[in-house]
Amino acid sequence: MVRRSEPEPTDHDERLGEAIEAYLDYDLVGEEPDLHSSVVTEAALQDLADEFVQPRQPSDLLGAYRGAARMLMVDRGLLGEAPGLYSAEERTAWAAALPRLAMEIVPDLNHYTLVLRPEGVAPVAAAVRATLRG
């Protein structure tokens, strides 16, 4: 369903493209030409407000949780643009206010490629293993 207009992909890029295409197709409902997202509009609007409209405070990040935490972040937005969802200013404020939060930037990825590309999956898996070991 998803149409791509890119330079010749490498094998890796082709596999990634297929994974993202499958992910996007999973969300499509209806019949052509009346395809649309299965997303619940009200939920998406609330998420939009939570992420982009309401100011984020460091205390919002962990809520009532008081233990040590680790956050993997990417430095790219959905279309590969910098800086991604969280600005350097926000990360600096979080680091100052939440010393128990270990933040790690996984470079050159977005939140899809973090879990779809080997260079993203490796640090995610390492963080999970480290958490499980305690």
What is the C-alpha separation between 77 and 91, in angstroms, rounded? Answer: 15
Contact 41, 64 (CB under 8 A): no
Q: What are the domain boundaries of the chain?
A: 9-56, 68-134
pTM: 0.62
Q: What is the pLDDT of residues 62-121, one digit of tens each?
A: 778 888 888 999 988 877 888 888 888 888 888 888 888 899 999 999 888 888 888 899
Q: What is the Cα–Cα distance from 106 to 109, expressed in whole angstroms?
A: 7
- Residue 20's Cβ-count burial label (10 Å; 0-12, 13-18, 19+) is middle
DSSP state of 51: I
Mention every residue, 6+ apart, whose C-beta is less than 8 A from residue 82: 75, 76
Tens of pLDDT, residue by residue over 1-11, are: 444 444 454 55
